[in-house]
Amino acid sequence: MRLRKKPHTDEKLKQFEDFVITDKSLLPFPISLFPSPHVELGTGMGDFITQIAERNPQINYIGLEVEKTCVLSAARKVREKNLSNVRLIVFDINNISELFSEHEVDRLYINFCDPWPKKRHAKRRLTHVRFLEMYRKILKPDGEIYFKTDNRGLFDFSLEQFALAGLEVRNVTNDLHANEPPNNIRTEYENKFSAAGVPINFCIARFAHG
């Protein structure tokens, strides 16, 4: 469900033009100026990307988010933390193959994406094989997909899709917080679901060599 657009969002985003891209004419992204990025698909309000970028200043991070209101919130957090290794792009992930060239991305993060629970909407899920084939093109040969969700049905579906697309999967868990890794970064949704007692599913997937 789309968020209600707040007044003057476009005007406010102009304050962050040094690291936020809203103009499609500036795309595809100039990867030569921001090499080997880790990309979050659906940045939301920006908690995850700003935390991980702060922890890893040597890595470049790109957040993709279609909702401008969310991008504005994320941009404010980037500015507050004075992060030079983050770029935010207002972008529909359905067109991700138009944003990057082949083998430009080091890692993808998919955190609590829309589960699209109805069967007829399966192709809209960001872990559907349709999307996985797009990711295959933009990821480097050793690139990885980090996937988190509170939705067990989506997680099981995703594992099936990963297998169909020829991905190797590791670190599979249906309760990430039962033995939470010290390097885990919680998102807004993750904290919400965890507080409600909902277990978090997680895995790391990589396209098999050859």
For the stretch 30-62, pLDDT in tens is 888 899 999 999 999 999 999 999 999 999 999
CA distances in angstroms from 105 to 7, 108, 123, 145, listed in the order given: 34, 8, 23, 11
d(CA 12, CA 17): 10
In a domain, 21, yes or no: no
Number of domains in the chain: 1
For residue 94, give its domain range: 33-207
Domain at 42, CATH number: 3.40.50.150
Catalytic residue among 47, 92, 106, 114: 114
Query: Contacts for 153-158 with beta carbons within 8 Å, 24 or more apart?
Result: 153/115, 153/117, 154/113, 154/115, 154/117, 154/125, 154/127, 155/201, 155/203, 157/122, 157/125, 157/127, 158/125, 158/127, 158/203
Contact 112, 187 (CB under 8 A): yes
Give the mean model confidence (pLDDT) for residues 76-83: 98
In a domain, 164, yes or no: yes
Count of beta carbons in the 10 Å neighbourhood of residue 174: 13
Q: Helix 68-81 crosses helix 47-55 at what angle (to 10 degrees)?
A: 30
In a domain, 117, yes or no: yes
For the stretch 171-209, pLDDT in tens is 999 999 999 999 999 998 899 999 999 999 999 999 987
In a domain, 28, yes or no: no
Q: What is the pLDDT of residue 210?
A: 54
Give the mean model confidence (pLDDT) for residues 148-166: 97
In a domain, 52, yes or no: yes
In a domain, 108, yes or no: yes
Q: What is the pLDDT of residue 102?
A: 93
18 is catalytic: no
- Specify the pTM: 0.94
In a domain, 200, yes or no: yes
Q: What is the pLDDT of residue 191?
A: 92
In a domain, 26, yes or no: no
